[in-house]
Structure 1
Amino acid sequence: MKARVDKFTGAAVALSLTMSLLLTGCGESKTLASKNQGKNGLEVSELRYQGAVGSVNFTELAEDLGYLAPLKLKYIGNTISGPQDIQSVVTGDIDFGGAFNGAVIKLLAAHAPITPVISYYGVDENTWSGYCVLDGSPIKTAKDLIGKKIAVNTLGAHHEFVIKEYLHRQGLTPKEIEQVTLVVVPPVTSEQTLRAKQIDVATLGSILRDKALERGGIHPLFTDKDLFGTFSAGTYVLTNRFIKENPKATRKFVEATAKAIEWARSTPRAEVVARFEKIIHQRGRKEDTSAVKFWKSTGIAGKGGVIATKEFSTWVDWLVKEGTLKKGQLDGKILFDNEFNPYSK
């Protein structure tokens, strides 16, 4: 792909990750400053995190359901980028963050001191991402994407992996793949950007996808489920230092998030949506709640977000095939830890 994609890798990402690691000690002092001196049996009183506009993550749901208490969440801003979110964990700006497992593996390969502890999103029959074109578009096959622009939320994460895999499977050469340009567009504006013909393909996930398809005039060229089936795609990570110094808080965080995932899985859809709407209204960030009306499922494969080995080994193998990792550099079986998840027992 063109330089706009390539700059995410190589020297630029190495510099970014090096700076992140150098800043870890400085940032994590903020975590130490939030020590609660054993109050309620936990080592810290709050967990700092980044949210997403118009949506509710499972730890936010856990707090609202009372599962997270006595821990409280401290919102510090929004992100649309998994790689940025987990790098913020490394620098100590937040306590937990999540990203596509391939991006987590890249960070681990750069010797980031983090551990994935629970899956938080995935792909199933109801929750998937479509790589969508306008009805009537001349783009019918992978070959037609040569010289075209595909909008993604960030580079080096879930959608870049899926798009490259699609192009590989359809027989495009590395030189041809370089001629497909990925551009970063916020997910909430991707549909509008596609309809304005400023891009050729829009990446639309679950809720935003359903809203766009309901309006009509758009259809998926391919989907991540077509390529990989049902799987948990991303995990929340904590720093190794946080886990070591705050084992009780770590367990509470993972247990609460796991219970919230199962609550959402077993509760009638209308009740889940109503709960999400209530949470969005109560937090007072002036957000539109219309998107959550399209929520259908957790998308998470493992019960309570338990991480499966294949959800890491698949992407380790893929990165080896791409030449990003050396064979044997990382073992997908030991990159994550289900120890704190009650459903892993």
Structure 2
Amino acid sequence: MQRLFAGIAAVALLLGATACGASADSDSSASESGGVTRVNVGVIPIVDVAALYLGKEQGIYEKHGLDLSMTTAQGGSAIVPGVVSGQFQFGFSNTTSLMVAQSNGVQVKAVSNGVATTGVNGEDYGGLVVQEGSPIKSAKDLEGRTVAVNTLKNILDTSVRESVRKDGGDPSKVKFVELAFDQMPAALDKGQIDAAMAVEPALTTILEQGGVQIASPYADVAEDLTVAMYFTSQEYAQQNPEVVEKFQQATAEALAYANSHPDEVRDIVATYTEIPASVLSKVTLPKWPEDISRSSVERLEQLGQQDGLFKTAPDLDELLP
């Protein structure tokens, strides 16, 4: 047990991760009973992971021999230590955080696509938003301003920097602060931040409050951007290849089901967030393609290198399935 705690501390130090604030919904240890393997997945309570919840509800994971449970955390960089320490068997993390973890020597392995941008400016499930009447009219105007992201040094600040860069601004002059997605609407409304990079359902909540979207950073990075992936530890993948294969197959089915059943996606989101049905009916849903877009991951790697996120260049051949 002492070694386990030491391992967790070491991983947290490597990542520079903040406290995750995760609360276990059930026993997180993997176990097998009657041919069914129980696995726990670290997730974020946002629209992105709807396919996982929907797949469980539809019996897709059970069909593949998995008893799935989910535990929530603030962001992907907070989930990584839980996966590496064995608290979770799988986790959901944005692509940049996984590359940062690997560049810091943390042994992570992506196993499945998670979610992707719609690729349409102004009609994406993630957007850069400001208050109504704000003097900030475009991404370039963020120079010297404060922008909220859910965790620092992840895909959100990387994407915002690219929007600022494309708009002719200097991304090094933007100040980023860490704030959970569900806290962004109130913080923006009270003027505690100048802008927020919000994803659904927080994005629609902000727009319903009169917020204004000034950019679609995910789409600015790549039209088919793989925003996040499901992953495990290299150790777990090597020791449990059959479980990993089952999770991959089940998740591929769950992603396809989510893509073709948008109404059910909105219904399932209401079961793990506190967003009113009136808001959920208006959210922009992401895409859930089965395949990871390697070219978009390579673009994120280039941006991460440019912004100084990596100690060493990520090995995508080792990271990706």
TM-score relative to the length of structure 1: 0.75
1:200 deviates by: 0.9
Does the 8 A contact of 1:54 with 1:287 survive in 2? no
1:104-160 Cα shifts (integer Å, max 9, x gaps): 111111222221011112210454321111222112344532332111111111211
Aligned residue type for 1:321: Q
In structure 1, which of residues 148, 151, 171 is the aligned counterpart of residue 148 of structure 2? 151
Aligned residue type for 1:246: N
Aligned residue type for 1:74: S
Count of matched residue pairs: 296
Q: Find the counterpart in structure 2 of residue 342 from structure 1.
A: none
Q: 1:292 to 1:54 in 2, by over 3 A?
A: farther
Whole-Å separation in 2 of the counterparts to 1:272 and 1:48:
21
Q: 1:288 to 1:209 in 2, by over 3 A?
A: closer
Q: Find the counterpart in structure 2 of residue 46 from structure 1.
A: 38
Q: Which moved more, 1:198-207 or 1:222-231?
A: 222-231
- Are residue 297 (structure 1) and residue 297 (structure 2) matched? no
Q: 1:332 to 1:247 in 2, by over 3 A?
A: closer
1:187-224 Cα shifts (integer Å, max 9, x gaps): 11212211111111122223322233244x32112112
Does the 8 A contact of 2:30 with 2:40 survive in 1? no
Whole-Å separation in 1 of the counterparts to 2:273 and 2:185:
21
Does the 8 A contact of 2:44 with 2:92 survive in 1? no
- Are residue 273 (structure 1) and residue 266 (structure 2) matched? yes
Q: Give the 5 Å matches for 1:41-190.
A: 45-53=37-45, 57-69=50-62, 70-76=65-71, 78-124=72-118, 125=120, 126-173=123-170, 177-190=171-184
Q: Find the counterpart in structure 1 of residue 247 from structure 2.
A: 253
Q: Which moved more, 1:163-172 or 1:150-159?
A: 163-172
Whole-Å separation in 2 of the counterparts to 1:148 and 1:275:
36
1:55-78 Cα shifts (integer Å, max 9, x gaps): 5532222111111113212344x2
Does the 8 A contact of 1:54 with 1:289 survive in 2? no
- Three-state SS of the structure 2 residue aligned to 1:112 is coil
Does the 8 A contact of 1:60 with 1:73 survive in 2? no
Q: Find the counterpart in structure 2 of residue 341 from structure 1.
A: none
- Three-state SS of the structure 2 residue aligned to 1:330 is coil
Q: Find the counterpart in structure 1 of residue 299 from structure 2.
A: 314
Q: Give the 5 Å matches for 1:188-199.
A: 188-199=182-193
1:63-105 Cα shifts (integer Å, max 9, x gaps): 11111113212344x2121111122211222111121111111
1:216-249 Cα shifts (integer Å, max 9, x gaps): x321121122443232211111112212222221
1:40-65 Cα shifts (integer Å, max 9, x gaps): 2x6xx211123444755322221111
Aligned residue type for 1:320: Q
Whole-Å separation in 2 of the counterparts to 1:187 and 1:234:
16
Q: Find the counterpart in structure 2 of residue 233 from structure 1.
A: 227
| Structure 1 segments unaligned to the other structure (5+ residues) | 1-11, 21-29, 338-345
**Structure 1 outlier segments of 4+, above 6 Å:** 12-15
1:319 deviates by: 2.4
Q: Which moved more, 1:161-170 or 1:80-89?
A: 161-170
Q: 1:193 to 1:13 in 2, by over 3 A?
A: farther
Whole-Å separation in 1 of the counterparts to 2:16 and 2:152:
19
1:153-188 Cα shifts (integer Å, max 9, x gaps): 111112110122223334444xxx444221122211
Whole-Å separation in 1 of the counterparts to 2:75 and 2:311:
26
Q: Find the counterpart in structure 1 of residue 212 from structure 2.
A: 219
**Superposition CA RMSD, Å:** 3.0
Does the 8 A contact of 1:17 with 1:87 survive in 2? no
